[in-house]
Amino acid sequence: MPDLLSVKNLKIEATSYPPGEPPKVVTLVEGVSFDLEKGKVLGLIGESGAGKSTIGLSALAYGRGGVRITGGEVLLNGRDILNLDRAGINEVRGRHVCYVAQSAAAAFNPAHKLGDQVIEASLRHGLMSREEARKRALYLFRVLGLPNPESFGERYPHQVSGGQLQRAMTAMALCPNPELIVFDEPTTALDVTTQIDVLAAIKHAIEETHTAALYITHDLAVVAQISDNIMVLRHGKTVEYGTTKQVIEAPREDYTRALVNVRQAKREEAGDQSGALLKIEHVHAGYGNGFKVLHDVSMHLPQGQTLAIVGESGSGKSTLARVITGLLPPSEGRIMFDGKELPKALKGRAQEELRRIQMIYQMADTAMNPRQTVRDIIGRPLSFYFGMSGAKKTERVKELLDQIEMGSRFLDRYPAELSGGQKQRVAIARALAAKPELILCDEPTSALDPLVAEGILNLLMKLQEETAVSYVFITHDIAIVRAIADSVAVMHRGRLVRFGAKSKVLSPPFDDYTDLLLKSVPEMEIGWLERVLKTRRMESAGN
Amino acid sequence: MGSGPITGPVLTEGTARDLGAQSADLAGVPAKPHPTDSAEIGGTSWRRFVFRRPLAALILKRLGLSIGLLFAVSLMIFGGVEALPGDFATTYLGQSATPQAVENIRKDLGLDRPWSERYLSWLGGAVKGDFGTSWASKQSVSEQIAKRLGNSLFLAFFAALISVPLAVGLGMLAVQFRNRMPDKIINVISLAAISLPEFFIGYLLIMVFAVELGVATFPATVYDTMTLAERLSAIALPVATLVLVVLAHMMRMTRAAILNVMSSAYIETAELKGLGTFRIIARHAAPNAVAPVINVIALNLAYLVVGVVVVEVVFVYPGMGQYMVDAVTVRDMPVVQACGLIFAAFYIFLNMAADILAILANPRLRHPR
């Protein structure tokens, strides 16, 4: 009996059109082969550009944009789906193979009810009557733990939350009873506390329906919970292919080993946390329409240390950063810096006060002028704060480039000519150029691949040792908090839940929210998900 | 009046080129309006209304805006006519008239009163539907216009009846066959039609169909005694001209709006469900392209009513446009003002209708959280 899906020596190419140059054919995927049995899950893992989504979509004989499958075979139940005509391909899609996209918010049609979209493929392929399809959708909504399953299908996509949409997308894929589902980073856009629910729902649904799956993600800890086999990809080629146990517990390749060991680092926190370079006192803040975001937030940060502010989206952590910079004046409370109160609004602050606090953003891309070279970007604060120019300025820019481990050959590059990690390094150099005492880092690594992010974190720690700069580090990632923080503030819905030294905040007894947050972070350990769910069930049974 | 259809906002086709390209934005769907946007207007009862019935509040606001705009336009029309060089008295009496005779006529018509007084009395009448009497014919302007407006609307209605479904259908056809032969043919023909001024198309049609082939009637004058069939045959050429002029714009906007939507992630989802091309366009793309398409259609309908001036003159069709042009040549101000105000009212009303329909077409506004 043949395997359900058998991919042999796959080659995928795309044509790119660099401006001012002849079109170029780029190979995205080369020589990838794998087999998938009925009811099994294969995890495809790698960093961005590794070709994981491209491979996943080849199981539906689909290429995004100008992507073409130019070689190899994709056999579904022994039949090569790459040689099918349009009608044959439509027969495969939505009937035998279904797809779950990364952003369910964009993948659902805003004009139609969720229920209609979930059962559409089953109806169009003539698999069941409308009544049967409705029943199946209702069953799937229940299995996936959606609230009010009876009326859920009557809602429009904008009326439900991101986590619910992601589960509805899974229901949509499961509805026609396909033999294979391709999950393309289904939990990446979600908060950790939501991710664990969706992950559990997907796992439960796969087991319940005996569907096989390709599970694409960049997070090895996530894939360890759900897959039977793992394929590690890099630059469109296979690095390692084996059972989940073998890959996680005994990786053969260096690259896999690095992925497994990423962010194992833990920093000892500073012993003395009594001083306060920055002191936030009873801050309330909100936006113009009377919508209050921050409620009575107080915390402090000693000089030369790192304060991590952690919370999920909507917790108010970025708003707090805006209050500290003066972009959003607080309605009540004050910000003390080096013993003096900072003027509330940016306009009221002196240039010297501005210089001492700098910021690094999540998206280095959008925080830099694409038409300026690295020299101009880093040089701007030098001339603005210190009046430097000419050779002296260039000399200092070179020094800063050395500090961020990039070197002077990058002087005349434009942002578009830098990688994601390099852009973030330039942003760090720009902040450093002002010789600040405090740098606000707003999720500076969350858009980066794990290994690149680790490099950035190491650089930030090295710079702190060299220059004794203090960091306020905003993140949603507990692993980062463990790795770099001295003190931690946990925020939830605009309120401070917990604040103190890292060792105190991250050890029991916990409040409910911190407990949930900490238990939701996937660990690089097979069976972690079951263990967490089991304790949860026991707790709720005990209550 | 301009010499081509009024152009609305143009959708970029750039992003629509790659069918599969992922774009996370919900094309053309504006976000939920800010609750405070409307709360500034009034006291707490309005605030509560905005909170409870956001959709109705939004529509009411749009209605109020239109009425305010209409008043502003009436002021501009009056001011504009006031600022025109020359006046009725000199045109009527000729160059050799004595200053005394000119003065007498000005007094008869009330032109010696201050403009603010004349504006208010004119506006007071216009609100009640009385536009005064024509200076040239001494007849009631309202009565004259009623008949002519009916004729203009008759013409515009049939032009719209043919052009709107044709434009939307051709637009969808062009999307289905995009960048292939049918799409290219549709594009070239519609571009050619849009590039020619309507008087030129009008004369061209007259030459071919009325003069050379003799199958159509010219001039397109209609009388009260004509039957419907006779009227329809009379207006065939002017309707054809109007259709050719507005078709291209609507069709190209439909095509661009749908192609823009076709690059969204939910279209990829539909494709990966194995749906056919037509179902994807009709069920998944079209509802989201409705708002921009409605806007273009409304703009072009407004053009049909307002922009018939040239076409009516070319075809000697007794509609509002011809009436207005005649009045301008003799400086018959009450008629010019009345026509201007009615055209403006149509324009404002159609745009308002388009906005309200676009609001209703938005599921986020129709079904609030």
Candidates A12, A99, A102, A109: best to mutate against B (most CBs of B within 10 A) is A109
Chain B residue at shortest CA distance from A103: B24
pLDDT band at B27 (very low <50, low <70, confident <90, very high): very low
pLDDT at A47: 83
Helix (H) or strand (E) holding A36: strand A24-36
Closest chain A residue by Cα to residue B24: A106
Task: Determine, for residues A289 and B26 on separate chains, whether the beta-carbon distance falls below 8 Å.
Answer: no
CB A315 within 8 A of CB A309: no
Report CB contact under 8 Å: A66, B275.
no
The yes-or-no verdict on residue B3 having pLDDT over 60 is no
Is B364 touching A (CB cutoff 8 A)?
A: yes
pLDDT in tens, B349-369: 888 888 888 888 888 888 876
Whose tokens are 């004595």? That residue is B98
Q: Calculate the alpha carbon distances from A456 to A221, A459, B362 in Å.
A: 21, 5, 43
CA distance A462 to chain B (A): 37
**pLDDT 10s digits, B160-171:** 899 999 998 888
Contact B275/A120, CB-based, under 8 Å? yes
Could you tell me the sign of the dihedral formed by the alpha carbons of B125, B130, B131, B135, in that order? negative
Minimal Cβ distance to A106: which of B36, B265, B283: B265
Residues 6+ apart with CB under 8 A from B60: none
Q: Is B24 on the interface with A (CB under 8 A)?
A: yes
Which residues make Cβ contacts (< 8 Å) with residue A79, sequence separation at least 6? none
Residue of A nearest to B18 (CA): A65
pTM, rounded to two decimals: 0.74
Hey, is the C-beta of A156 within 8 angstroms of any chain B C-beta?
A: yes
Query: Which of B266, B274, B364 is the closest to A108 by Cβ?
Result: B266
Give the β-pairing of A306-310 and A487-492.
parallel
Q: Give me the DSSP letters along A196-254.
A: HHHHHHHHHHHHHHT-EEEEEES-HHHHHHH-SEEEEEETTEEEEEEEHHHHHHS--SH
What are A52-92's pLDDT values in tens digits?
Answer: 889 999 999 998 877 889 989 999 998 899 988 989 999 99
| Model pLDDT for residues B264-280, shown as the tens digit of each residue | 889 999 999 999 888 89
Whether residue A288 lies within 8 A of chain B, CB to CB, comes out as: yes
Radius of gyration of chain A (CA): 26
* CB-closest option in B21, B25, B266 to A65: B21
- Identify whether the C-beta of residue B255 lies closer than 8 Å to the C-beta of residue B174: yes
Question: Cα–Cα distance between B113 and A99 in angstroms, integer?
Answer: 77
Q: Is B326 on the interface with A (CB under 8 A)?
A: no
Q: Where are the domains of chain B?
A: 142-331
Token duo for residue B212: 């050379």
Annotation: CATH topology of B142-331: MetI-like fold (1.10.3720)
Q: How far apart are CA B321 and CA B2, in angstroms?
A: 13
What pLDDT does B127 receive?
A: 83
Least confident stretch, A52-66, B12-26, B318-332: B12-26
Q: Which residues is A440 bridged to in the sheet? A: A359, A472
C-alpha B317/C-alpha B221 separation (Å) is: 5
Strands A291-301 and A278-287: antiparallel
Flag whether pLDDT at B305 surpasses 90.
Answer: no
Pair of tokens at residue A268: 């000892």
B115 vs B283: which has the higher pLDDT: B283
pLDDT at B95 over 80: no
Structure tokens at A271: 């012993």
Residue B180 DSSP SS3: coil
- Picking from A488, A58, A174, A519, the residue whose alpha carbon sits closest to that of residue A310 is A488
Beta carbon pairs, A and B, within 8 Å: 98
H or E, element range at B246:
helix B228-262
Contact A106 B279 (CB under 8 A): no
Give which of A55, A425, A446 is closest to A232, Cα–Cα: A55
Inter-chain touch B367–A125, beta carbons under 8 Å: no
Q: Identify the band that residue B35 occupies on the pLDDT scale cut at 50, 70 and 90.
A: very low
Predicted confidence (pLDDT) at residue B1 exceeds the cutoff of 60: no
Residue pair B249/B10 in contact by the 8 Å Cβ criterion:
no
Smallest CA–CA distance, residue B273 to chain A, in Å, is 4
As a whole number of angstroms, the distance between CA B128 and CA A16 comes to 66
Tell which B residues from 191 to 230 touch A, by Cβ distance under 8 Å. none
Name the residue with higher pLDDT: A283 or B19: A283
Helix (H, G, I), strand (E, B) or coil at A307: strand
Say if the Cβ atoms of A106 and B271 lie within 8 Å. Answer: no
Which of A106, A156, A289 is the closest to B367 by Cβ? A156
Residue A238 has what pLDDT? 92
Q: pLDDT per residue over B115-141, tens digit each? A: 888 888 888 888 887 888 887 778 888
Is residue A440 a contact partner of residue A324, using CB atoms and an 8 Å limit?
yes
Would you state the pLDDT for residue B12?
41
Quick one: closest CA in B to A89, which residue? B274
Give the residue from A215, A171, A258 showing the smallest Cα distance to A55: A215
Contact B265 A101 (CB under 8 A): yes
Pick from A97, A111, A133: nearest CA to B362: A111
**A14 touching chain B per CB within 8 A:** no
Helix (H, G, I), strand (E, B) or coil at B2: coil
| Stretches in chain A below the pLDDT threshold 50 | none
Does A281 contact B at CB distance below 8 Å?
no
A289: chain B residues, CB-CB within 8 Å: 34-36
> Taking CB atoms and an 8 Å limit, are A159 and B287 in contact across chains?
no
B349 touches chain A (CB under 8 A): no
**Minimal CA separation from B17 to chain A, in Å:** 9
pLDDT at B269: 93
Output the pLDDT for position B39: 41
> β-strands A332-337, A278-287: how paired?
antiparallel
Query: How many angstroms separate the CA atoms of A338 and A354, rounded?
Result: 13
Is A109 at the interface with chain B, CB within 8 A?
A: yes
pLDDT computed for residue A265 by the predictor: 63
- CA A262 – CA B331 distance, rounded (Å): 85
